[in-house]
A and B are shown apart, each in its own frame.
Chain A
């Protein structure tokens, strides 16, 4: 047998199979996939053990296992991946009967994740997941490779220039990938994770729990369709309680479940969240049971967005989103990397790594009072007139008289905050846009990453000299509305000047 390959001796231009242990992973995956379809049948067999006989059932299970193992083995045999150096493409072939060939251009690759599920960790193999810009329908996953291969792939696919990985290890004047872990890794404290778990994403947890119980319930109902008596007992017991007791019981259970589940989910998924900067890329690794390792290229980062709300601000917490270059940012969700919450200090450190400096809030540009007028028109004048006409026709004034002041107070407060929170900061090196009512978002870009600028002025705003501006970047648009148009024009000229004289590559 050959000695285990070193990084420099990995040659991916030749079609490769996964690591030998990949057979086991493929079998387990095949087993898991078929269990989704077959578990009801298996339980049916076991429940009716007397009817079929133990031997028959054992044989049946064994036959199933053998078939699945063969399928898993064939999947392993037919799974090949390699790199086409000439065309700078990563190629993956798979499928037993339906052959599938996936070609990925290096330039389209957005991030490469190295993950390890519980099983993979147990047999010491790694999963490589490749995410691309544009239509991300094809999931590209290599389920079992050695650590060396995984890390080599990650580097090779993200460094678009050929031979750079090899060159770096020889050329001592260039900073090598192995040496450039300059900054100390940033670790996110458990406290931050607990805080974020307690303040966000409840809807997702709720839906997950509901989906889980719905599946279980449906499947069990199919098998034990006779045992509807049990269901009736439960219904009888519940209906013996009074209406309010029933409601409180259900609500309390759901709330407790969701909070606990949310907390556990965050702690397990984001356990030991660590951020490292390696050369020109940034690595996020996390996870307790399943470890994830996501690497993005710093040059592809376009917009960094920080989001926080009243409660989270009080808890010293902020969420972060990193938008990367994408051919279609509006439909491509994978282009935006969503990170869990951080404390202010942690967020500052990450931003330092992303930009190499702390963003500076430059000259502040406020929206004009026209923003308030526009909101008043849209959310007060028009709805109130419609409501007025409606109640006038109905002839009942009481709801209108009671509802109007409440509505006015709420909407006025919202409009006031949307005005107060909307600010544009112009600095030589950063453009920062703040907006929002409850969730306040701060979007940060560097001027040379602007792709195009659109200014817009309605003709009824000409006299008061008010206008809008949109900064188009490869990671989404930044819109600032109802600004003083002379100021907007001034900065538009300035930004154009910056883009046109910048020597930095935007990507």
Chain B
């Protein structure tokens, strides 16, 4: 039996998640976002242009097209600003992901509570050698993490690191990939 200790742990001395050193996601992921934005812009632009040929709308067509361009530009600028906010940190016992422009959202998932991890490569991402790390917990969709813009090798390492932690518990876990 291990000797019983029961010392008071001062909350103030616990490791602080807000001071963990974070890594920003890959800069070149912005290209992916830009490309996705362009595709959406062209598609919506075609719809708006189509609308502007309707007889009732012709007098207002330049307002419509101008408004559309202004909204999309603002959208893009906000996206760019929010892009720089995305960062993550891997600690000994948990993973931290921070994002958000108007509000800073920080999600913390202890490794012991991760159900499974997955890697996802989109069509455009693959071209840039990037991947998305998906982390699922039992807390439902509101607590699942999807971290985009990781180098594929990095994402693989992260996944392996997390799997290692899950694996420790996973020995008596019947749902084990290795068992199949």
Contact = CB atoms under 8 A, between A and B. Distances in A.
Interface stretch (A59-67, A119-127, A171-179, A499-507): A499-507
A88 B14 CA distance: 42
Interface stretch (B29-37, B49-57, B140-148): B140-148
B142 A496 contact: no
B59 interface: no
Interface in A443-474: 450-459, 470, 472-474
Contact of A489 (B16, B110, B139): B16
B73 interface: no
Given A493-B17, A494-B11, A473 B104 contact: no
Interface string B83-120: 00000000001100000111111111111110000000
Contact of A451 (B102, B106, B138, B174): B138
B174 A472 contact: no
Given A454-B106, A456-B106, A493-B11, A474 B16 contact: no
Contact of A452 (B14, B16, B143): B143
A490 interface: yes
Which of B94, B140, B142 has most chain A Cβ within 10 Å? Answer: B140
Interface stretch (A185-193, A223-231, A286-294, A323-331): A323-331
Interface string B161-176: 0000000000000100
B15 interface: yes
A328 B141 CA distance: 8
A188 B96 CA distance: 46
Contacts of B105: 454-456
Interface in B121-154: 137-143
B11 to A, nearest CB: 5
Contacts of A329: 140
A32 to B, nearest CB: 38
Given A492-B108, A496-B94, A500-B112, A474 B139 contact: yes
Contacts of A493: 11, 14-17
A88 B174 CA distance: 10
A470 B137 CA distance: 14
Nearest to A462: B104
A507 B139 CA distance: 12
Contacts of A453: 107-108
B12 interface: yes
- Chain B interface helix/strand/loop/mixed: mixed
- Chain A interface helix/strand/loop/mixed: mixed
B18 interface: yes
A476 B139 CA distance: 7
A456 B104 contact: yes
Contact of B18 (A474, A477, A489): A489
Contact of B142 (A458, A470, A500): A470
B147 to A, nearest CB: 14
Interface residues of B, number: 32
Which of B106, B110, B174 has most chain A Cβ within 10 Å? Answer: B110
Given A489-B17, A493-B15, A499-B113, A472 B106 contact: no
B11 A500 contact: no
B104 A459 contact: yes
A328 to B, nearest CB: 6
B143 A456 contact: no
B103 A452 contact: no
A459 B12 CA distance: 25
Nearest to B140: A329
B139 A473 contact: yes
B108 A451 contact: no
A497 interface: yes
B16 A451 contact: no
A231 to B, nearest CB: 50
A506 B100 CA distance: 30
A325 B138 contact: yes
Contact of B108 (A325, A490, A496, A506): A496
A256 to B, nearest CB: 44
B113 A452 contact: yes
B142 A477 contact: yes
Contacts of B18: 489
Contacts of B138: 325, 327, 451, 474, 506-507
Which of A330, A452, A476, A497 has most chain B Cβ within 10 Å? Answer: A452
Given A452-B108, A500-B93, 8 more contacts: A326-B140, A451-B109, A451-B139, A452-B107, A452-B113, A459-B102, A493-B14, A506-B113
Listed from nearest, the 10 A-B pairs whose CB atoms lie closest are A472-B139, A451-B139, A472-B143, A452-B143, A474-B138, A500-B93, A458-B103, A451-B137, A452-B109, A493-B14
17 contacts: A451-B138, A452-B113, A453-B108, A459-B104, A472-B137, A474-B138, A474-B140, A490-B12, A492-B17, A493-B15, A494-B11, A496-B17, A496-B93, A497-B15, A499-B113, A500-B94, A500-B112
